[in-house]
């Protein structure tokens, strides 16, 4: 399991956040740890845990569609500046 950061530039906040609310729980093996939306909803940064960036991308793209541009990356947990990460989820974590 890895921590994945997703940065969302949201062009249609009402549709984006509405889709997120309706999407329901992420699939097994994908966990959302935190979401940090800008006050107007036009930008957000989220911390996920999953086996891969692609697993997060597939879930987010399914509900977000073209209402945002998204950038994803895997966190380098071994880097000294990777601070404040939660403990890995119990489901198959290292």
Q: What is the pLDDT of residue 90?
A: 55
Tens digit of pLDDT for each residue in 42-91? Answer: 999 999 999 999 999 999 999 888 999 999 999 988 877 777 788 887 54
For 91, the 3-state DSSP assignment is coil
> What are the structural domains of the chain?
2-74 (3.30.70.100)
Residue 94 to residues 12, 15, 18, 54, 55, Cα–Cα distance (Å) = 37, 36, 34, 19, 18
Average pLDDT over residues 16-28: 92
Q: How far apart are CA 52 and CA 74, in angstroms?
A: 8
Residue 24 to residues 2, 60, 75, Cα–Cα distance (Å) = 22, 11, 25
């Amino acid at each position: 399991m890895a921590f994945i950061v997703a940065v969302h530039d949201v062009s249609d906040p009402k549709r984006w956040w509405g889709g997120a609310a309706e999407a329901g729980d992420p699939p097994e093996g994908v966990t959302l740890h935190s979401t940090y939306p800008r006050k107007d909803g036009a930008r957000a940064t989220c911390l996920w845990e999953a086996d891969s960036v692609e697993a997060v991308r597939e879930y987010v793209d399914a509900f977000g569609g073209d209402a945002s541009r998204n950038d994803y990356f895997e966190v380098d947990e071994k880097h000294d500046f990777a601070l404040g990460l939660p403990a890995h989820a119990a489901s198959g974590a290292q």
